[in-house]
Amino acid sequence: MKRLAIGICVLTMGLAGCNSYNSCDPCGDRCIDNQPPAVPTCVTSITGDTYVIVEWNPVVVDDIEGYGVYRSRSYDGTYMRIGDVAWDEPTEFWDEGLTNGVTYFYAVDAYDISGNVSELSYEWVDDTPRPEGWDLQWMTRQFEPNEAGIAIIPDQYDSIVILPYNAFAAQYYLSRPEGGLMRIVPLRGNQLQDFGFTYSEDDISEAPVDGWSSNPDGVEVILKHTYILRTTTGYYGKIRVETMGPNWAIVYWAFQGQQWNTELAPRLVGSTP
């Protein structure tokens, strides 16, 4: 069960008339609204670089005043209130200044003008921010061997690192033999797969379970294709070829700094455990 770490405020407001959602005092001169709003539904999160966006469906009642957004380090842990969103604002909240590679859990409640508060949302919504970047210039080993290797080393670097293709730490390198096609080549058991054409960097949100290859021939580099990486050290990443030339490629990149965590981009749905 989710637990709240908040103080309780009670507001009493004068309302005209009584209905099934209100109770009247014995004097009959005022009515007290004691019906909480519905619990927010369809709570989801979107993964960012040191931030998470939390979204949900609006609660449609006449007296809704706003929403509280909460964060915890575990689903059934203590949830701290981190922000409020007014009823007439978009139902989303940007939680910024987070630590990449750390998993956070989120919940939302709704409150009305009388101070009634719903329960916390029921969905299991967790998110692990991860670093990303654009315009990484990657050279072929035949053209510039010292800038042909890449590696994902989260405990040392907060970006994909470029290094010589034959460096011990290199996990993949770019190659284009004379008269041949440009290819991404995995080294020493590191794996990858061509996920095909993608319209944007965020089209792939989760690393797949199957389809991995460590074939030393590598895979062909194709413009606008996204390639998923899985290192022998247990980290997942992705690169998308934005532009390319005869001996180089400019790529977007992202990787998950938490070992064995396959989340790479927007987590589009929450789920009820």
DSSP secondary structure letters along 151-203: E--TTT-SSPEEE-TTSTT--EEEE--TTS--EEEE-TT-EEEEEEE-SSTTS
pLDDT of amino acid 33? 82
With contact defined as beta carbons under 8 Å apart, do 118 and 111 qualify? yes
CA distance 167 to 195: 27
Least confident of 9-13, 77-81, 143-147, 187-191: 9-13
pLDDT of amino acid 264? 86
What value does the mean pLDDT take over residues 47-64? 94
Candidates 111, 121, 133; CA nearest to 54 is 121
What value does the mean pLDDT take over residues 244-262? 95
pLDDT of amino acid 31? 72
Give CA separation, 163 vs 51, 187, 257, in Å: 28, 13, 19
Structure-token pair, residue 77 = 């842990």
pLDDT of amino acid 146? 98
pLDDT of amino acid 30? 62
Ordered strands of the 183-186 beta sheet:
161-163, 149-151, 172-175, 183-186, 219-220
With contact defined as beta carbons under 8 Å apart, do 270 and 42 qualify? yes
Mean of pLDDT over the chain:
89
Burial 30-45 (b: 16+ CB within 10 A, else e): ebebeebbebbeebbb
What value does the mean pLDDT take over residues 193-215? 92
How many other C-beta atoms are found inside a 10 Å radius of the C-beta of residue 193? 17
φ/ψ of residue 252, rounded to 5:
-85, 145
pLDDT of amino acid 232? 97
Q: Flag whether pLDDT at 184 surpasses 80.
A: yes
Q: Flag whether pLDDT at 163 surpasses 60.
A: yes
Residues 188, 190, 191: CA angle, nearest 5 degrees: 140
Q: Flag whether pLDDT at 7 surpasses 50.
A: no
What value does the mean pLDDT take over residues 96-114? 96
Structure-token pair, residue 191 = 């794996």
What percent of the chain stands above pLDDT 70?
86
What value does the mean pLDDT take over residues 192-208? 92
Q: What is the pLDDT of residues 141-159, one digit of tens each?
A: 999 999 999 999 998 999 9
Q: Which residues pair with 35 in a beta bridge?
A: none
Structure-token pair, residue 228 = 């998923």
**SS3 of 66, please?**
strand
**Longest CA–CA separation in the chain, Å:** 94
pLDDT band at 138 (very low <50, low <70, confident <90, very high): very high
**SS3 of 145, please?**
helix
CA distance 189 to 230: 10
What value does the mean pLDDT take over residues 65-80? 96
Give CA separation, 95 vs 4, 53, 74, 205, 265, in Å: 18, 6, 16, 19, 16
What value does the mean pLDDT take over residues 235-256? 97
Q: Flag whether pLDDT at 265 surpasses 90.
A: no
